Amino acid sequence: MVIYEALRLYPPVIALVRETDTDMKLGNKLIPAGTAIIVPIIAWHQDERFWGADVKEFNPERFAEGITKACKVPGAYLPFSFGPRNCIGQVFATIEAKVVLATILQRYRFCISSQYVHAPTVVVTLKPEFGMPIVFEEVL
């Protein structure tokens, strides 16, 4: 749940770009072949209509019943894209994050420092503007 929520707040990429292969109709609009479609992942991950009033808060419990029940709109959780062209490293990255987190939790308790201010900034990927100081405390 912690990893899913971290990826919701800080997705590896903030948007996807796809291009239509053929002419398509979306509602009553014609989208010609070759049109670039931008999927704004960061906007979807921070939309109150999808996630509720606490959308800006770090709340891993929203994933307590799984990814599909965490969001009011199916398919709005896209940290690694979706479909046949999703991120090839998605499974590896998720397993690696779980192993690292489990290894740390065997020896330490940690929490976000009281000095942390949630202020994402975009470089090539999204990152916290002021870093994310974490306090580790050894578990006896």
Sketch the domain layout of the chain as residue ranges: 2-138
Q: Is the pLDDT of residue 95 over 90?
A: yes
Binding residues for heme: 87
Q: What are phi and psi of 17, to 5 degrees?
A: -125, 125
pLDDT, mean of residues 75-95: 90
Helices vs. strands in the chain: H and E counts, helices first: 5, 8
pLDDT recorded at residue 49 = 95
Alpha-carbon gap, residue 76 to 55, rounded angstroms: 13
Q: Is the pLDDT of residue 132 over 70?
A: yes
Q: Is the pLDDT of residue 7 over 90?
A: yes
Give me the percent of the chain exceeding a pLDDT of 90: 59
- Superfamily grouping for domain 2-138: Cytochrome P450 (1.10.630.10)
Binding residues: 87
Helix (H) or strand (E) holding 70: helix 67-70
